[in-house]
């Protein structure tokens, strides 16, 4: 285990209909983990051989010490990965200062237009901020590896191909992750309204994979059982998932602290139903969301 995931910010201008961190953002609204605590943990984990750092939130670039944090991480030997909704990358001066210390950036992109994207983030202007961030990333002298994470919902399902094309054209993205709605936070509250049935998602797989390959992008699928991907099961993110340690703010009995959690499998509220016991890929696949089984049953699960 050499991967560290650190939730450093609990502030975000978006209010995404599917935000898996919604409960945490409400609980610690506007909070930033202190710079001192972050640097202390980064130093300690680097000493123990950790060499890949994911900074997330909330929106991590809003942390007032973000530039100092990524500089320290880079000098400590970490490969730095930032998950962002655009954030302060939309400011050219900030972006150019940050890029030398970054290796990978994952942008949350849920539409190919302001109308669609902003309707899912519930934040007018969020798409424009992303476009500015994309332009600044492309202008930077250091070329970072850009991912896009698209949460696939019933609302943007007809436009997923267009969103992939938009990511390729606007920021030269090298990888796209198509994520199912996770039943956590706002995603749990809106699960039935937003979730694409597995049989319906299966109809779009060929087009999405072909589009990504045509644009020279890797494509992965998160939260979809491997059997539901059919012949595209090799594009499941489960097959590429790596063990990690996650650090995040926690509260218990009125006491606030940084909780450290080790994850060895991509389970995250996913379960294996009885059918899965005879599946050839049961030890790789993370299974199906428990909430999906409750709402939709298991008829769509067809083990290999």
Q: How far is CA 182 from the centre of its chain?
A: 11
* Residue that the structure tokens 């009995």 belong to: 253
Over the range 236-246, which residues count as b (16 or more CB within 10 Å of their CB) and which as e? bbbeebeebbb
**Contact in structure between 149 and 173 (CB atoms under 8 Å):** no
* pLDDT tens for the 304 residues of the chain, in order: 899 999 999 999 999 999 999 999 999 999 999 999 999 999 999 999 999 999 999 999 999 999 999 999 999 999 999 999 999 999 999 999 999 999 999 999 999 999 999 999 999 999 999 999 999 999 988 889 999 999 999 999 999 999 999 999 999 999 999 999 999 999 999 999 999 999 999 999 999 999 999 999 999 999 999 999 999 999 999 999 999 999 999 998 889 999 999 999 888 889 999 999 999 999 999 999 999 999 999 999 999 9
pLDDT of residue 141: 83
Beta strands in 159-276 (DSSP E): 175-179, 218-222, 244-252, 255-263, 270-271
What distances in angstroms separate CA 266 from CA 225, 234, 271, one per listed residue? Answer: 11, 15, 10
pLDDT of residue 254: 83
DSSP state, 74? H
Residue 160 buriedness (CB in 10 A; 0-12 / 13-18 / 19+): buried
What distances in angstroms separate CA 125 from CA 115, 147, 185, 274, one per listed residue? Answer: 10, 21, 23, 46
DSSP state, 32? B
**Contact in structure between 37 and 19 (CB atoms under 8 Å):** no
Provide, for the chain, the percentages of residues in helix, strand and coil under a 3-state DSSP scheme, each rounded to the nearest 5: 45, 20, 35
Q: Which helix (H) or strand (E) holds 83?
A: strand 79-84
Helices (H), the chain: 22-27, 35-47, 66-75, 92-98, 114-121, 126-139, 160-171, 186-189, 191-194, 198-202, 205-214, 290-296
**Domains of the chain as residue ranges with CATH:** 3-269 (3.20.20.70)
Given the DSSP bridges, would you call strands 255-263 and 244-252 parallel, antiparallel or unpaired? antiparallel
Q: From CA 244, how far away is CA 4, in angstroms rounded? A: 6
Q: Nearest 10 degrees: CA dihedral of 32, 35, 37, 43?
A: 130
**Contact in structure between 84 and 108 (CB atoms under 8 Å):** yes
**Contact in structure between 133 and 86 (CB atoms under 8 Å):** yes
Q: From CA 201, how far away is CA 255, in angstroms rounded? A: 43
Q: From CA 48, how far away is CA 57, in angstroms rounded? A: 24
- Which of 262, 273, 280 is CA-nearest to residue 298? 273
């Amino acid at each position: 285990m050499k991967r560290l995931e650190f939730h450093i910010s609990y502030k975000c201008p978006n209010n995404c209909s599917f935000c898996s961190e919604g409960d945490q953002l409400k609980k610690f609204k506007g909070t930033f983990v202190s710079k001192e605590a972050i640097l202390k943990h980064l130093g300690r984990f680097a000493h123990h051989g950790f060499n890949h750092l994911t900074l997330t939130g909330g929106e991590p670039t809003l942390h007032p010490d973000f530039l100092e944090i990524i500089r320290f991480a880079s000098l400590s030997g970490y490969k730095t990965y930032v998950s962002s909704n655009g954030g302060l990358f939309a400011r050219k001066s900030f972006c150019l200062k940050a890029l030398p210390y970054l290796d990978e950036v994952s942008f949350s992109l849920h539409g190919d237009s302001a109308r669609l994207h902003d309707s899912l983030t519930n934040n007018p202007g969020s798409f424009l901020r992303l476009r500015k961030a994309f332009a600044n990333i492309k202008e930077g002298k250091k070329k970072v590896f850009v991912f896009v994470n698209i949460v696939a919902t019933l609302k943007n399902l007809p436009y997923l191909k267009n969103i992939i094309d938009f990511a390729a054209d606007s920021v030269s993205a090298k990888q796209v992750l198509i994520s199912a709605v996770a039943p956590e936070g706002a995603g749990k509250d809106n699960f039935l309204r937003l979730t694409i049935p597995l049989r319906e998602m299966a109809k779009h797989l060929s087009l999405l994979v072909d589009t990504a390959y045509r644009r020279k992008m890797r494509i992965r699928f998160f939260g979809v059982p491997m059997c539901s991907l059919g012949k595209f099961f090799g594009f499941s993110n489960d097959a590429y998932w790596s063990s990690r340690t996650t650090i995040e703010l926690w509260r218990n009995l009125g006491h606030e602290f940084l909780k450290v959690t080790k994850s060895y499998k991509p389970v995250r509220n996913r379960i294996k139903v009885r059918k899965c016991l005879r599946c050839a890929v049961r030890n790789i696949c993370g299974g199906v969301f428990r909430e999906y089984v409750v709402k939709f049953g298991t008829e769509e699960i067809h083990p290999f």
